[in-house]
Amino acid sequence: MFKFLFDRDTWQEVFDSFNKNKLRSILTMVGVWWGILLLIGLLGSARGLENSFNRLFGDFATNSVFIWSQNTSKPFKGFQEGRRVRLSLTDAQKVEENVNGIEFVVPRNQNQATVVRNFLSGTFSLGGDYPLLDKVEKKKLIHGRFINQSDISDRKKVVVLSEDVYKQIFEKDEKAIGQYIQINNINFKVIGVFEVSNISMGPRIDMHIPFTTFQQIYNTGDQIGWMTITGKPGYDIVQIEKDAKLLLKNLNDVNPNDNTALRSANAAKEIGRVTGFLTGMQFLTWFVGVATLIAGVFAIGNILLITVRERTKEIGVRRALGATPFEIKRQIVVEAVFLTLIAGLFGIISGGWILIGLDAAFGQGDDAVIVNASVSIAVVFIALLLLVILGTLIGLIPAFKATSIKPIEALREE
């Protein structure tokens, strides 16, 4: 049945009729080319944006919330307003014990510190952290390891550095693991180097030391700077956030209606907003792309209809010479599919170029707006399939038109 597709003559006919109407065929194909170019370009950029957001949130538990304390804005239980609320380890523990659906509570501390090694130095943020942090905010370690439980128990003077710190105080390609550096004049052993993630929820920490070590050095006692809470799968992180904050207000004698004493940032909410936007954009992209595509295919159908009209006589001659109506129809449908497919392939290729261009212009570096703008092979195949189907359907109209004219009428036409 499809043997004719491998027949040189079929394609000879297609090329002949293409060559005959070169300019018009090309102009028609521009419609389809443009449609598929838009589809690929838009889908690729949407994917690029999505990738960049994913990279932003990737290392990061999306069902997490940060809670930190500030000054009260309402008097409560004899306390004046404007009191600085300080969260403590006990608070964190109570939250973990009492709030429903909690997976982890990670108490954290933070300070600025000067780091010195040989003659190189810099000022970076220093965090006192538990090993659990790695679960909540995945650290991409380039070398070594993250803080472990034994570091915590022994209050070891070990530090995990960000790439930025490493670059600042180490020579290029120098081995950092096992080296000693001075943080606020205290010697720390480097146990790991991590890649900086683009995530900007909560303060950025460049040097992680064990929580207990931090407690000792800065004499913070029970105090914590903030806590990161993650919810178990299936629990609403917004509810957890509310429950935890209410509990914390209770524990710290804060008016339940005080909106400033405890601050929080809910990652899920922010991410949800962004992903919702992305989904909407993808839908829009498909809609625009496919609509343009259909318009382009219709243009091809329209042109073929005109061509068929002009070729009425030729078709009449062919039928007089023994072409069956099926052969005529088949030829016209093949032409339609061929035109759409070629235009589509060019569209896909130039869409790819656009994506390459976008990548070159906006896709480089760590804070790229569009990351790896691309379309999947599946999308390309769907688009091609769509082209073939639309091409066939639209080709059928002129095909039936062509054979609905009796050969005698076709020949009579001068």
Partner 1 sequence: MLQIKNLNKSYPIGDTSLHVLKGINLSVENGEMVAIMGSSGSGKSTLLNIIGMLDEADSGEYILDNLPIKNLTEKKAAVYRNKFLGFIFQSFNLINYKNALENVALPLYYQGMKRKERQELAMFHLEKVGLANWAHHLPKELSGGQKQRVAIARALAANPKLLLADEPTGALDTTTSHEIMAFIQQLNDEGKTILMVTHEEDIANMCKRIVRLRDGIIIEDKKVNQVRAEQYV
Given the rule CB under 8 A, which residues bind partner 1?
8-9, 16-17, 19-20, 313-314, 316-327, 403, 406-408, 411, 414
Q: Which is nearer to partner 1, 178 or 322 (CB)?
A: 322
Q: Which residues does 178 contact at the CB level (< 8 Å), separation at least 6?
A: 189, 190
**Are 398 and 301 in contact, with CB atoms under 8 Å apart?**
yes
Q: Which is nearer to partner 1, 320 or 361 (CB)?
A: 320
Q: Which is nearer to partner 1, 225 or 316 (CB)?
A: 316
Least distance to partner 1, CB of residue 402, Å? 12
CB burial string 18-52: b at 16+ within 10 A, e below = beebeeebeebbbbbbbbbbbbbbbbbbbbbbbbb
219 sits in the region (left: phi over 0; alpha: psi -120 to 50; else beta) called left
CB burial string 273-295: b at 16+ within 10 A, e below = ebeeebeebbeebbeebbebbbe
Q: Which is nearer to partner 1, 257 or 404 (CB)?
A: 404
Q: Which is nearer to partner 1, 174 or 413 (CB)?
A: 413
Least distance to partner 1, CB of residue 19, Å? 7
Q: Which is nearer to partner 1, 24 or 74 (CB)?
A: 24
- Measure the CA angle with vertex 225, ends 145 and 130; round to 5°: 25
DSSP class of residue 69 equals: E
User: What's the rounded Cα separation, in Å, for the pair 163 and 194?
Assistant: 6
Q: Please return the burial class of 199, using the count of CB atoms within 10 Å of its CB with bins 0-12, 13-18 and 19+.
A: middle
Q: Which residue has the tokens 């929820």?
A: 201
CB burial string 161-192: b at 16+ within 10 A, e below = bbbebbebbbeeeeebeeeebbbeeeebebbb
Least distance to partner 1, CB of residue 37, Å? 30
User: What's the rounded Cα separation, in Å, for the pair 109 and 220?
Assistant: 9
Least distance to partner 1, CB of residue 337, Å? 21
CB burial string 240-270: b at 16+ within 10 A, e below = bbebbbebbbebbebbeebeebbebbbbbee
- Helix, strand or coil, per DSSP, at residue 127: strand
Q: Which is nearer to partner 1, 189 or 412 (CB)?
A: 412
**Other Cβ atoms within 10 Å of 224 Cβ, number:** 25
Q: Which is nearer to partner 1, 144 or 325 (CB)?
A: 325
Least distance to partner 1, CB of residue 398, Å? 17
Angle, nearest 10°, between helix axes 267-310 and 22-58? Answer: 170
Least distance to partner 1, CB of residue 28, Å? 18
Q: Which is nearer to partner 1, 265 or 323 (CB)?
A: 323
User: What's the rounded Cα separation, in Å, for the pair 91 and 244?
Assistant: 10
Q: Which is nearer to partner 1, 210 or 407 (CB)?
A: 407
The helix or strand, by DSSP H or E, that contains position 143, with its residue range, turns out to be strand 140-144
CB burial string 200-213: b at 16+ within 10 A, e below = ebbebbbbbbbbbb
Least distance to partner 1, CB of residue 340, Å? 22
Least distance to partner 1, CB of residue 30, Å? 23
Least distance to partner 1, CB of residue 345, Å? 25
Least distance to partner 1, CB of residue 32, Å? 23
Least distance to partner 1, CB of residue 317, Å? 5
